[in-house]
Structure 1
């Protein structure tokens, strides 16, 4: 899509000027791209084992070597990790490792670091914590089987077992219950699916209690995806299903501190070290020692990072929600989505330090998951214009601005990204 205004991208909202986005990625030398994965460079599917990634996109990321990192709540490794997806795409794990095709960056919300060669680490994570996490997938499977028996689910044994195996994600650092296949299999049985959400929430609460009894009371938290933001205590608010909306489908039992916004600072710290030889926050800084508060994170940047070396950051995500609800007689906007906070931090770092950081949104509503609102587009004078974003139209005070959007989903974004990579290589 072509240019339509002279405003810089970071001052625009819902811009479709993809040509200028490509130029920004191609021509900016001091650039740091921080990008989510599912729904951004891969389609959203019900079963993570069905995910596929384009090898052309993977190769294109190398044009931004040391300027590109992923930041995801999924994981690099394991049966459903992105490494396996890449290895299957290239049909040769040895080639992937030797040619550095693994995606560098932070997974599991920020506690799983990986290089392009697949070298892995879990900064700040203890052996006891990993041992507790190891038994969570079995607990999820047990819970699902008990629920199926108690609720007398109308599923044959093969379908039920497929749903259970697809739902229990044995991630090393972020074991997850993913209810997408159950939502599909229950075929509109809203009450049963709602009961399943509540059952899984109860299991997560039980696991937190058991962890505390083992001396790990401050070790974990539960990430709901998508969600309705956080409550007054800082806990994420589950999105219970309404109508055809699935609401929260992912119940991730995660290490405390594994929040994407903290991952932004961990990546920025590494980026500075590559360029300047010095880690502004120290070599051992990791998300588990980072503050959780938005303003505290910005203050950390102001206090420790040289503004003269600050890169132009481009944040890329697909999960941003808001819903205006009636709470005690007051209309309240519940803002959430697993990408919201890291995109918001990138935006506000740019505004605070007067760097033109760009928030980029990929419309993943065309995927298999039905829990996100599509962008609304009108044609004016023959040109497409986005008139409404992924949030509630009644939410008129959202602090997050989506500068550049890709209504065509991950395919449209990946095409632009690959064009930018080719241009950057030819500079």
Structure 2
């Protein structure tokens, strides 16, 4: 019988529970939205289960998040965590914040809510503070030229839900306008207008001396083009396509966060940082091969943990290019999951890629896993059915979404806690 790291689309959650509960040298790197809470159109309405948050403490030092969202601010995850307990002091005292990297890899937090921004200058932060106002101005200008056919009295509310004033990743969230616009054609124009805005912001930053400071992340996306820029996913009849356009710091890509977390994990195990105490995600290479070389050259194989990467956003889409069929492979979680898979093969550490099906959330831009009638086997994955050469293997999947995953996580945490007593 194949081991779990050799499996594809496994529904054997009991084996995963056993690994999480009993294996000492493990490192969990987990996305947030869609994984441990539902995908929603308005980030302010997100909720997270109290028992799940308590369960994370059983993996203290072995569990870290890696998200494009942020820990802090009005729309940050910390506020959701505090709301789950209705007592901020309790959350801090008991270490119930989610430790790890936010902002794609540039906002670090321990489980007591102590936040830092490794590798970011004050001048870069100052430029980022100006971005939300520019997004709002651009949206207002767009709708002066286009009649969206929506309730104009609620326009300011729509703007508030669309402009996310994140500290290190100001974002355009188009979900609400996708719902209220009368014509899909206008939404597609809005997508393009916001893409043009972010390009203009990059050019403006360049004239101010920040030519290599920022980039734009599209979620979901269709991978990267030949220049390394992410490809926007246009809306279609039943798919909202790219809904989030995030103005982010260069280096704030999830895969660059993996060596940062590994560096910290090794410090917890040995008292030494393989990449140095001051290493941050922005210093990491930007492609998988160089990242893998960095890790191979600096991390002791005897200490390398079994890394379990958990995400929900992986895409694959066929595209006709002349007489040739090509595949655009992307998604916010693909990069860090592919790197974790590659590390597992390089170090023979039996790493696992875990996929949580978030298609049941409010966002209609996720393809669901297809099961057989008995619900015992996955008969069609999340990528394009014609894409049979995708190298990313989803070892374990959760068709039941975040509810199913967090239940398994809590069970494993309970067993691990009992085993350590």
TM-score by length of 1: 0.97
Equivalent residue, structure 2, for 1:183: 178
Q: Secondary structure at the match of 1:223?
A: strand
Equivalent residue, structure 2, for 1:13: 8
Equivalent residue, structure 2, for 1:3: none
- Candidates 413, 418, 421, aligned match of 1:426: 418
Equivalent residue, structure 2, for 1:249: 243
Q: Residue 157 of structure 1: CA displacement?
A: 2.8
Equivalent residue, structure 2, for 1:148: 143
Q: Residue 159 of structure 1: CA displacement?
A: 2.5
Deviation track 1:174-216 (CA, whole Å, cap 9, x = no partner) reads 00000011111125x2101000000000000010010001000
Instruction: Give the Cα–Cα distance (whole angstroms) in 2 for the partners of residues 159 and 186 of structure 1.
Output: 12
Structure 1 vs Structure 2 CA RMSD: 0.8
Q: Residue 156 of structure 1: CA displacement?
A: 2.1
Q: Residue 329 of structure 1: CA displacement?
A: 2.7
Q: Secondary structure at the match of 1:350?
A: helix
- Candidates 152, 155, 160, aligned match of 2:155: 160
Task: Summarize the Cα distance change of 1:208–1:420 in structure 2 as closer, same or farther, 3 Å threshold.
Answer: same
Kindly indicate whether residue 219 of structure 2 is the aligned counterpart of residue 225 of structure 1. yes
- Equivalent positions of 1:381-420 (< 5 A) are 382=374, 384-420=376-412
Kindly indicate whether residue 131 of structure 2 is the aligned counterpart of residue 139 of structure 1. no
Is the deviation greater in 176-185 or in 382-391?
382-391
Instruction: Give the Cα–Cα distance (whole angstroms) in 2 for the partners of residues 126 and 206 of structure 1.
Output: 22
Instruction: Give the Cα–Cα distance (whole angstroms) in 1 for the partners of residues 52 and 181 of structure 2.
Output: 35
- Equivalent positions of 1:326-365 (< 5 A) are 326-365=320-359
Q: Residue 38 of structure 1: CA displacement?
A: 0.1
Equivalent residue, structure 2, for 1:316: 310
Kindly indicate whether residue 293 of structure 2 is the aligned counterpart of residue 293 of structure 1. no
User: Can you give the 5+ residue segments of structure 2 that lack an aligned partner in the other structure?
Assistant: none
- Equivalent positions of 1:59-208 (< 5 A) are 59-186=54-181, 189-208=183-202
Q: Residue 141 of structure 1: CA displacement?
A: 1.0
Instruction: Give the Cα–Cα distance (whole angstroms) in 2 for the partners of residues 222 and 206 of structure 1.
Output: 11
Q: Residue 383 of structure 1: CA displacement?
A: 5.6
Equivalent residue, structure 1, for 2:18: 23
Deviation track 1:341-389 (CA, whole Å, cap 9, x = no partner) reads 100000010011111000000000000000010001003xx56100111
Q: Secondary structure at the match of 1:61?
A: helix
Instruction: Give the Cα–Cα distance (whole angstroms) in 1 for the partners of residues 239 and 411 of structure 2.
Output: 35
Instruction: Give the Cα–Cα distance (whole angstroms) in 2 for the partners of residues 365 and 303 of structure 1.
Output: 39
Q: Residue 147 of structure 1: CA displacement?
A: 1.2
Instruction: Give the Cα–Cα distance (whole angstroms) in 2 for the partners of residues 137 and 92 of structure 1.
Output: 30
Q: Residue 300 of structure 1: CA displacement?
A: 0.8
Equivalent residue, structure 2, for 1:262: 256
Equivalent residue, structure 2, for 1:210: 204
Q: Secondary structure at the match of 1:346?
A: helix
User: Can you give the 5+ residue segments of structure 1 that lack an aligned partner in the other structure?
Assistant: 1-5
Q: Residue 145 of structure 1: CA displacement?
A: 1.2
